[in-house]
Amino acid sequence: MSGFTPVLCLADTAYDSNAFRATLIANGTKPVIPNNPTRKHHHPFDRPAYRLRNVVERTICRLKDWRRIATRYDKLARNFHAAVIIASIVSYWL
């Protein structure tokens, strides 16, 4: 492990459980998870931070337009990483 602790965990309502939230808080990560509609005790929810999740999802969706990235043809991680970087540059340059 690199010792990196994320500041925020942006997740969908499917991950709204007390155990998952407790694990995140114990590790020093702030959970940004919308409350499940069936939840009795609502937790605070940072709506502006949750909107950042959409940016990440759109970026991954755009990268998956590249067949090589979506199917992961490369056997080596460094080759796959290089393909992701090239696809990112070309996608956002055009």
pLDDT at residue 5 tops 80: no
> Could you give phi then psi for residue 32, rounded to 5 degrees?
-115, 80
Mean pLDDT, residues 48-63: 85
User: Are 33 and 9 in contact, with CB atoms under 8 Å apart?
Assistant: yes
pLDDT at 2: 58
Mean pLDDT, residues 8-36: 91
For the chain, domain boundaries: 1-50, 53-94
% of the chain exceeding 90 in pLDDT:
17
pLDDT at 94: 67
Kindly tell me the burial class for residue 42, based on how many C-beta atoms sit within 10 Å of its own C-beta (0-12, 13-18, 19 or more): exposed
Separation CA 31–CA 7 (nearest Å): 9
Query: Three-state SS for 54?
Result: helix
The DSSP secondary-structure symbol of 14 reads: G
- Model-level pTM? 0.63
